[in-house]
Amino acid sequence: MSLAVQEELQSRWEEAERLRRKQVERARYEVLLAQRRYLRVDPDNRLVADALEAEWNKKLRQLAETQLEYERQQAADQQVMDEEQRRRVLDLSTSFPRLWKDPKTPDRERKRLARLMLEDVTLTKGVEITAHVRFKGGLNKTISIPLALNGWKKYMTAPAVIAEIDQLLNSYPAGEIARILNERGLASGRHLPFSGRIVQALCKRHNIRSRYARLREAGMLDVNEMARLVGTNARTIYVWHERAIIRGHRYTGRGAHLYEPPAPDSPLKDPNRRYRRGKPATVWSNPEQASGKYGAAATTGSHV
């Protein structure tokens, strides 16, 4: 690379030298034109002769100034590459990574550095991008680069996380799943913490069955269906659930439940239950059967 830098500098000096030399040649040519015009004028026409002589003198002064500037710049260029600068150029081969990563290095300088190093780059696009790189020194290298993801793919939640949500829906509602995923250090495709709303949106997007649908498929009943099955009202079902007389499964973050239907031999399905004064009462035909399983309130036949 240091050789490439030296070649680049040398090329720039030669280009600057060529431009300055052309300026001198142009000034010399204009002096010759002014001289010819003066020598061709009629000496008796003093007015025109004086004007052409003044123009000739002006061109001579411009030539002298241009020649002087050329010599000054040429001397300055010869002093540019002093020993310290030569050492810095030679050190570029080892300090290139530091220079490239330096935040103070502007992008335009990085582009110049790349041009100094690279001969050409050939890109081919397939399942990935393949770059065939030829360096100035003759070294060849092949680099494979993954294709950039589309916007919607870039922000997709990982398939493993989606599978975990599908599994957790067998036991937890969306809000509880979000808490579990956050505790495990997982994040959504946009690297945001999970929430119940995000979990529900992912389920909809990936056609994952909701917890409610899973519970219904497992035979769970809503509060009204449960009340009709055992011959009571919704309020009683809520009380029984709070007292663990029946088992419910939450399917929303707001406490909505579906309930396991009682077994065929459950006292809750006793056909001899009766009502007094239009209010539902829990009266067991066999109190000894209910004792110990549903608590004291059930064995005494008290209203629930």
Domain of 279: which CATH number?
1.10.1660
Quote the pLDDT of residue 296. Answer: 36
Quote the pLDDT of residue 78. Answer: 63
Residue 257 lies in a domain: yes
Are 195 and 226 contained in the same domain?
Answer: no
Question: Which tokens go with 154?
Answer: 């870039």
Residue 93 lies in a domain: no
Are 125 and 158 contained in the same domain?
Answer: no
CATH assignment at residue 120: 2.40.50
DSSP annotation of 232 reads S
Domain that holds residue 130: 106-148
Are 187 and 132 contained in the same domain?
Answer: no
Q: Which of 196, 153, 152, 189 is nearest to 172 (CA)?
A: 196
Residue 125 lies in a domain: yes
Quote the pLDDT of residue 271. Answer: 58
Which of 124, 148, 172 delimits the end of a domain? 148
Residue 94 lies in a domain: no
Quote the pLDDT of residue 50. Answer: 85
Q: Please give the tally of structural domains in the chain.
A: 4
DSSP annotation of 267 reads G
Which of 191, 208, 225 delimits the end of a domain? 208
Are 80 and 125 contained in the same domain?
Answer: no
Residue 92 lies in a domain: no
The CA dihedral of 242, 244, 250, 254, to the nearest 10 degrees, is 10
Are 272 and 221 contained in the same domain?
Answer: yes
Question: Residue 185, by phi and psi: left (phi above 0), alpha (psi -120 to 50) or beta?
Answer: left
Are 77 and 110 contained in the same domain?
Answer: no
On whether the pTM is more than 0.85, the answer is: no
Quote the pLDDT of residue 168. Answer: 93
Residue 192 lies in a domain: yes
Q: Tell me the pLDDT of the chain (304 aa) as tens digits.
A: 555 555 666 677 778 788 888 988 998 999 899 888 888 888 888 888 888 889 989 989 988 998 888 888 877 766 555 555 666 666 665 677 787 888 888 988 888 888 877 888 898 888 888 999 988 767 888 988 887 766 656 678 888 999 999 999 999 999 999 999 999 988 888 788 899 899 999 999 899 999 999 999 999 999 999 999 888 899 999 999 999 889 999 988 778 899 999 888 888 776 565 433 334 444 333 433 333 343 333 333 333 3
Quote the pLDDT of residue 259. Answer: 94
Are 64 and 79 contained in the same domain?
Answer: yes
CB 27 within 8 A of CB 62: yes
Q: Would you call 28 exposed, middle or buried from its count of C-beta atoms within 10 A (0-12, 13-18, 19+)?
A: middle
Are 157 and 140 contained in the same domain?
Answer: no
Give Cα separations from 56 to 25, 51, 62, 134, 151 (angstroms): 16, 9, 10, 56, 71
R_g of the chain, CA atoms, integer Å:
46
Are 225 and 288 contained in the same domain?
Answer: yes
Residue 100 lies in a domain: no
Are 70 and 110 contained in the same domain?
Answer: no
Are 276 and 262 contained in the same domain?
Answer: yes
Are 279 and 232 contained in the same domain?
Answer: yes
Residue 204 lies in a domain: yes
